[in-house]
Amino acid sequence: MAAATVRCLLTIAVVLAPFLAGATAGGPLSTSFYSKKCPNVQGIVRAGVASAVAAERRMGASILRMFFHDCFVNGCDGSILLDDTSTFTGEKNAGPNANSVRGFEVIDAIKAQVEAACNATVSCADILALAARDAVNLLGGPTWTVYLGRRDALTASQSDANANLPGPGSSLATLVAMFGNKGLSPRDMTALSGAHTVGQARCATFRDRIYNDANINATFASLRQQTCPQAAGGASDAALAPIDAQTPEAFDNAYYTNLMGKRGLFHSDQELFNGGSQDALVKKYSGNAGMFAADFAKAMMRMGAISPLTGAQGEVRLNCRKVN
């Protein structure tokens, strides 16, 4: 091949590389979506999450979970943020979300600041994607590039939320299938579950496990039973416990060490280390914090690319709680 042709092909490859990389990591999204339209958006979001996490460290965990619950229900489209109205029943009061998902006022406050800087430009879905990334990083976890350009849904579905979000009693086969339905591999699922290294859970979500499961560390079960009595239906249903008993406010790999010691808080957590296909990976993450951090970041980028609305689809909401 002539040298000029080789140079020309190389130039094409170099010019196309970012787009090809974008295509794998972010689908139709891009890293530069707001660089002209709202150059300060990333700084505004980061500062908003930082102040919320400084006021209450758990909020970092809550925002991360909100993003997961947005993406798994008809894609990362800000649908979880829509309030119910008299004519509309959205996702906030679906089983996995009601009295559970929190942080809406943090997103509202960030959105107000973003609107003040760049009116009617940045979607609520993108704000949530950036906020989840910053939340992980502020708690000591990895960071990653957030591909942008998601638009906001015009609707939300309570029944889709009930159908698409895994519950704490799920088996490994169910978890693999539910993540597979979203284009995520078993490895992505096991890495993303490491989010349970931060945050809190209500007694109602782990009561069955601490009283009825056999594959649980007895010391750990009795510790949790002290604040989560066996009788369901009372005020204790809402009693909180850290999901990672070792370092509940640090985004580290202790979750996997817990699983190896049969100290997973949810039945679904312990399914990842119970003699099945994910045992070897749990062991690796437990012994290699860097590997977990890198895999978690990659899996978050893939989760963030689930079925976005782009181009002329949806809208950029002015208020994250309601359609324009």
Ligand X SMILES: *[C@@H]1O[C@H](CO)[C@@H](O)[C@H](O)[C@H]1NC(C)=O
Is 244 among the annotated ligand-binding positions? yes
Which residues in the chain belong to E strands, given as ranges? 200-202, 240-242
Is 287 among the annotated ligand-binding positions? no
Nearest distance in Å: CB 135, ligand X: 27
Nearer to ligand HEM, 34 or 60 (CB): 60
Nearest distance in Å: CB 88, ligand HEM: 24
Nearest distance in Å: CB 307, ligand HEM: 16
With contacts defined by CB under 6 A, name the span among 39-47, 63-71, 153-161, 251-259 that binds ligand HEM.
63-71
Q: The tokens of 132 are what? A: 């989840």
Distance CA 242, CA 65 (A): 14
Distance CA 195, CA 181 (A): 20
Distance CA 102, CA 25 (A): 28
Q: CA nearest 81: which of 70, 89, 71, 72?
A: 70
Nearest distance in Å: CB 320, ligand HEM: 18
Distance CA 92, CA 111 (A): 18
How buried is residue 162: exposed, middle or buried, by Cβ count under 10 Å (0-12/13-18/19+)? middle
Binding flags for ligand X, 201-220, as an x/- string (CB under 6 A):
----------------x-xx
- Of residues 244-283, those binding ligand HEM (CB under 6 A): 266, 268
Q: Which of 48, 199, 304, 314 binds ligand HEM (CB under 6 A)?
A: 199
Pick one of ligand HEM, ligand X, none as the site partner of residue 185 (Cβ within 5 to 8 A by kind). Answer: none
Residues in binding contact with ligand HEM, number by CB under 6 A: 25
Out of 46, 58, 65, 69, the active site residue is: 69
The widest CA-to-CA distance across the chain, in whole angstroms, is: 79
SS (H, E, C) 298-324: HHHHHHCCCCCECCCCCECCCECCECC
Q: Does 89 bind ligand X (CB under 6 A)?
A: no
Q: Does 53 bind ligand HEM (CB under 6 A)?
A: no
Nearer to ligand X, 254 or 299 (CB): 254
Q: The tokens of 148 are what? A: 């942008």
Q: Does 123 bind ligand HEM (CB under 6 A)?
A: no
Task: Give the alpha-carbon dihedral of 92, 95, 98, 104, to 10 degrees.
Answer: -40
Catalytic residue status for 69: yes
Residues forming the site for ligand X (CB under 6 A):
119-120, 217, 219-220, 261, 263, 318
Bind-site residues for Ca(2+): 70, 73, 75, 77, 79, 91, 197, 244, 247, 252
| Residues noted as catalytic | 69
